[in-house]
Amino acid sequence: MQKQTPEEQVLETLDRLSGMESSFCAVYVAMSRLSSENRGYRQLEIVSKLFEPLLNHAQSRLFLLSNHDFLLITAHPSLETIDDVLYQIKSLFQDDVLISLQKPSDFEQIFFLDREMDRLKALIEAHRQKISTNVQTPSTPSLVEAFTPEILEKILSSLEHMDTLDFIRRQAVVKLSSKGQNKVFFHEYYTSILNLQKALCPSTDLLTEKALFHQLTETLDRRMLGALSHVSLYDYPSAISLNLNISSLSTPIFEKLAKSWPTRLIVEFQLSDIFTNLKGYHQAVKILHDKGHLVALDNITALDFQYLDVLGLKADFIKLFWSPKWAQPEYERQLYALIKSNPKVGLILSRCGSEDALQWGKKVGLHYFQGRFIDAILAALAKNSCTFGQECSLSTCLICRSVLSGKLRQQCVHQRHLDAPLEIKVK
């Protein structure tokens, strides 16, 4: 006998409520509406935990639908409790780009079953039919294999025989000033985890196990530092930034690169690494400053600013992880105050994936920007100013500009132009 799908279980449950609808309501949370990075198993676990206050009696049941949306059916609901739970769930995903583009009712709905039973049944029936016709919705997360120590061992072993340069990418940080003196301020060089994962372990999500991932990054640091010693570009930006573990700064290979690289280095650190070894971080800052290099904090969210004295870490740059949450009044005010009282701290708005992010950043007084939207602008400028620009698509230009060597870069017939400084005009 075929196992019932969650949708079938829901419909069966709703049928059993016939005659008792007035006592019941349903709460629907559409996880499928979120970006893929917010629909992993960990996020689903967190959300299921947040439903707990509503599951405290026998007449409550939580369903996880096939597309990973949640449906809670409960008797005698406390609307205040429902509101609290939904508020907590929404707070978790304030950073999600897709949330900001949709109506609130697209993400969460409450159905009062005495009058909305049919509407709910229709919604679930539509899901059920999609499954039965094997229609893959774009929101269905793919299955992942657990990231285990054994898989890490295999990855590390594979890395010994690979050219890491193939996985190194660069992304520009631009400075846009009100006086029109726009330029590429520095390039971030990083190992593309996505491409590494695709090549070595496509069914494993390397970000699900933080400790193992950090261990992997220690090796990736060394491989990247070694690979950069062999990079040869036509032009170098005034600085490059590297995401490194604190421990990597005391390696001979970092010393070698720091001496041989022709321009300034900016070393980016993660909060998780800093708060594992705060003393080591302070020492690293001193060492880098003594050598004329700079320090950046990476992936700083609005919540980090709320709960931590980020400025107290005395970095030269802080990379703000863009999300619509920054545009909320309390965070915007905080940022205004920060910019006013700390004009020397370079605040970089990273993960600018849209013009909205850029415009917001300019509005609050930020000057440094990084992200896919900026990449697209730079690629368009490069293509337009290139003698052979007509021969390439914008996406090809984007890809070629993001790599330092290898087959992808060789697609470009005018490689010198990939490294050339660009005149940036942004409205």
Partner 1 sequence: MSGTLGDLIQFLEKFQDDPKGWVLGLFFDKISSALTEEKLKVIVDNLKTFENERLCRLFLSEQEAFLFVSETRPDDLKALLIKIRFISGMQNTTRKEGETYAIFHLTQDFDKLMNILKGQTVISEKPVLTSASPLTQVFQTHTDSMPFTPALLGQLERALQHADLSNITRRQPVCAIVGKSPPLELFEEIYVALSDLRKALCPNVDIYESPWLLGRLLETLDRRVLESIIHHDAGSFNKNFSLNLTVKTILGPDFQKFDETLNPALKETVLLEIKQSDIFTDVSAYLAARSFAANKGYRICIDTVTADSLLFLNREKLGADFIKLIWNQDLVSLAEDKAFIQALKQNDPSRVVLCRIDDKVAVELGQAIGLSLFQGYYIQKLLYQNPKAHKSR
- Residues contributing to the site for partner 1 (CB under 8 A): 42, 45-46, 49-50, 52-53, 88, 91-92, 95, 148-150, 152-153, 156, 209-212, 214-215, 218, 247, 271-279, 282, 301, 303-304, 306-309, 312-313
- One DSSP character per residue, 295-351 reads EEEEEE-HHHHHHS-GGGG--SEEEEE--GGGGSHHHHHHHHHHHHH-TTSEEEEE-
| Separation between Cα atoms, residue 173 and residue 317, nearest integer Å | 12
By beta-carbon proximity to partner 1, the closer residue of 112 and 213 is 213
State the minimum distance, in angstroms, from the CB of residue 26 to partner 1. 22
96 secondary structure, DSSP code: -
Q: How far is the CB of 169 from partner 1 (least distance, A)?
A: 23
What is the closest distance, in whole angstroms, from the C-beta atom of residue 74 to partner 1 in the complex? 17
Residue number with CB closer to partner 1 (20 or 46) = 46
From the CB of 153, what's the least distance to partner 1, in Å? 4
Q: Please, what is the minimum distance in Å from the beta carbon of residue 78 to partner 1?
A: 14
Task: Give the strand order in the sheet containing 60-64.
Answer: 60-64, 70-75, 24-29, 108-112
Query: Hey, which residues does 26 pair with through a beta bridge?
Result: 73, 111
The tokens of 406 are what?
A: 């290898």
Name the CA radius of gyration of the chain, rounded: 25
Query: Which one, 5 or 276, has the nearer CB to partner 1?
Result: 276
Closest approach, Cβ 100 to partner 1, in A, equals: 16
Of 94, 85, 98, give the one whose Cα is nearest residue 29.
Answer: 85
Nearer to partner 1, 36 or 91 (CB): 91
Q: Closest approach of Cβ 173 to partner 1, in Å?
A: 23
Smaller CB separation from partner 1, 81 or 393: 81
Distance CA 380, CA 19 (A): 63
Distance CA 3, CA 289 (A): 63
Of the pair 162, 278, the CB lying nearest partner 1 is at: 278
Please, which residue, 308 or 394, has the CB nearer to partner 1? Answer: 308
C-beta closer to partner 1: residue 276 or 354: 276
Total residue length of the chain? 427
CB half-sphere exposure, 370, CA atoms < 13 A: 24
H, E, C per residue of 109-176 = EEEEHHHHHHHHHHHHHHHHHHHHCCCCCCCCCCCCECCCHHHHHHHHHHHCCCCHHHHEEEEEEEEC
Least spacing, CB of residue 53 vs partner 1, in Å: 6
DSSP percent split of the chain into helix, strand, coil, nearest 5: 50, 15, 30
